[in-house]
Structure 1
């Protein structure tokens, strides 16, 4: 029978089932600002804001003294390899590869969201990026931000109306609030607590979207993410506390180095020929940074 032997990494097409599944599950892949990366690192400018003043006729303009810097995106690799026995693929190679690629895409979507949003530790071994959760827990004197200011932790009985209101209020009170780009990213376990919460007028703060419209909280669209649970390291199956993050999509920076892509290594070549097993390798290389801690808030459920 004919064999499918691929000599190089093959990118997934944008209309492929793998890409569609990733965009359905990963909020970061679907809505973040995508910055092409031609090397392992990329610097994106970050502004600390800019002042403005009234200038009398004939007076000199005052100079702005706000500190400006940049954020660095470093590409990290998310990947996996699967061995497939020749006996299992002789008669159904395309189907086998498609199923494995789709399964990998689902796990990749969850670990990417977890890495970008909810990992509690600083970047290091097992932690590819500074997550939003870690960013909001860290003091940055240059930006005038105190660690923990924009994090609200719900009590043991679950989040209350005040918890949701205080969390979104942390963003609304900041200089980076923009209702046109504001988004809530939450783990689906928040659905249960949201259904019964109403404001002082008796109106529910959570409105389920109909006919293709998104779910909303306080009028802000919600995207649901299975990766939005805290975890000490990046994982596709986080088991910590669920989070709801209020973010600006303008400040979500996703560096795109390559992928998702795959390579099929035929089991009839090289040392794999000794076991009649082919290898399917899948990977994606991404960088991540959130533009400014004052432009986001997190409610820990």
Structure 2
């Protein structure tokens, strides 16, 4: 589900490349697509870009993504795999899948992808996270291998996971095939771009608040999607700029995003925390500066 941004895309590319390299990678996932469900066949193996994927219905519509059917199938099939690679933490599917693999003595690799950062640990359902960590998380994290996508992420993880259990491997990032020409001189209007999932962690509110301090002519394009109520809050915050057409909202962008990067002067990612930040690499690849 592309709605979840860079991590989902990196996982998809990782699985595709593993299969190309001769490693049989299968995917168990839920139908989660934000507040909605993906329009896919469930409970059956399907081929997605050369990867065998099985989708399972979830019974919760929130971030827990609880899917009894996925867990039941994993319990019966987990011993057929040489290793289980789990992406993200805290949701019930991830934590309970890890528990199943540990109980069945199947090696586990966890790619938390920012979910074990200090910011994520202490924000949004912090009480529930602490309970999960004390009752089950600490036990599991000592028994698995953890994949960090950057030195920064590893430094944060060492406060939670034994350092010898952590390995660093950057994300797969798909870059444009076509070459973009060298940019011309500045037009006189500073063209800013925010391209990311829209959620509190990404700090878009900080960027909107800082716009009043810019001393040169500027224009901001916001590309991304998120919870409708939260997006509406941010639009209200930015309404004066929207009214005079200094800020425009484009919604989620996929294939056209590299043209967006190229047509702006500066891509800004004001996140409270980023384990890797795919968009930084994507922006730099077409010659557009990136700032945090």
Which structure has the bigger radius of gyration? 1
Structure with the larger RCO, 1 or 2 (CA within 8 Å, 6+ apart): 1
Greater strand share, structure number: 1
Note whether the superposition's TM-score is higher than 0.5. no
- Give the TM-score normalised by the residue count of structure 2: 0.26
Greater helix share, structure number: 2
- Give the TM-score normalised by the residue count of structure 1: 0.25
